[in-house]
Amino acid sequence: MQAKVAVVTGGADGFGATITDRFHQESYQVIIIDINKEKGEQKASGSPNIHFLFGDVTQQDTWEQALALARDRFGRLDIVVNNAGITGAQSPVHTKDMGEYERTFNVNVRPIFCSARSIVPFMMEQGKGVFYRFNKWMVGAIQASNDISTGCTRPRPGFAFYNASKAAVSIATKTMALEYAPTIRFNCIAPAVGNTSMLQASIGSGADSQERLQRIEDLLPMKRVAQPMDIANAVWYLATDQSSFVTGTTLEVDGGRGI
């Protein structure tokens, strides 16, 4: 049986690296796109079934290269996981500059547009696909699957346009689910803050880092942060035929934060 193929953006680190591992565990060919060349090459060196593409997901050329790699080497592309994204420092809108605003929408929203432009026509011709996107909830320091955040469903002060970028992804995902059903499914995952290098950078490594972590955990009804495998398992569910009747939804994997 021919192996399925997944593209995971930001697949060299954090949630993306564990999502890559989850698909690899299920015998997928995984193409990771990342701007961190060192970590990307290191991730790909661990298996002949993980393939690293150095590129910027805000650029259309990067997506054309990813599609060409999948099509020419494997003859198919089944899953797109738009995991890459950024947050910013917590502060009210009037203190933000135009550069931060533009970066936020460029990195968090533009790749959804670029990936769909390149890959949707191929999936339509292929007859099946999934897009997924994360909408992340971050501490303030797919079929197609798109990563958003609980900031989209339960916004926090100080992150107005980060939250807005995630809401934009959510409504775009729902709209594309209508536009391309029944051939392609589009869904989002909204994680809570996760145990990744981004969290570690936020809480620091000083004597009070555990206290900072505890304050974050206390915000979550489940009293712990998301582990990368919590998110990877949710992505896997949305990517497989186990969720064949699920499209246009946001799955909150947030320990109850969004309630």
Architecture of domain 5-194+227-253: 3-Layer(aba) Sandwich (3.40)
Confidence of residue 156 (pLDDT cuts 50, 70, 90): low
Instruction: Return the pLDDT at 207.
Output: 72
Confidence of residue 259 (pLDDT cuts 50, 70, 90): confident
- Give the integer Cα–Cα distance in Å for 82 and 108: 9
Is 101 marked active-site? no
DSSP state of 182: T
Query: In sequence order, which residues have a C-beta less than 8 Å from that of residue 254 and are 6 or more positions away?
Result: 137, 150, 190, 191, 192, 220, 226
Q: What is the mean pLDDT of the chain?
A: 86
CB-based contact 90:132 (threshold 8 Å): no
Residue of 28, 101, 132, 162 marked active site: 162
Stretch 100-111: mean pLDDT: 94
- Give the integer Cα–Cα distance in Å for 227 and 132: 19
The tens digit of pLDDT for each residue in 45-62 reads 999 999 999 999 999 999
The tens digit of pLDDT for each residue in 234-255 reads 999 999 889 999 999 999 998 9
Instruction: Return the pLDDT at 146.
Output: 44
Q: Looking at this protein, which amino acid is placed at residue 214?
A: Q
Instruction: Return the pLDDT at 139.
Output: 31
Q: Of residues 1 and 124, which shows the higher confidence score?
A: 124
Instruction: Return the pLDDT at 46.
Output: 92
The tens digit of pLDDT for each residue in 193-236 reads 877 766 776 667 777 878 888 888 888 898 998 899 999 999 99
Find how far residue 94's CA is from the centre of its chain. 28
Residue 122 φ/ψ region, left for φ over 0, alpha for ψ in the -120 to 50 degree band, beta for the rest: alpha
Stretch 137-143: mean pLDDT: 32
Q: Of residues 258 and 5, which shows the higher confidence score?
A: 5
Find how far residue 16's CA is from the centre of its chain. 7
Query: In sequence order, which residues have a C-beta less than 8 Å from that of residue 223 and are 6 or more positions away?
Result: 217, 255
Instruction: Return the pLDDT at 219.
Output: 84
Instruction: Return the pLDDT at 160.
Output: 86
Question: Does the pLDDT at position 141 exceed 60?
Answer: no
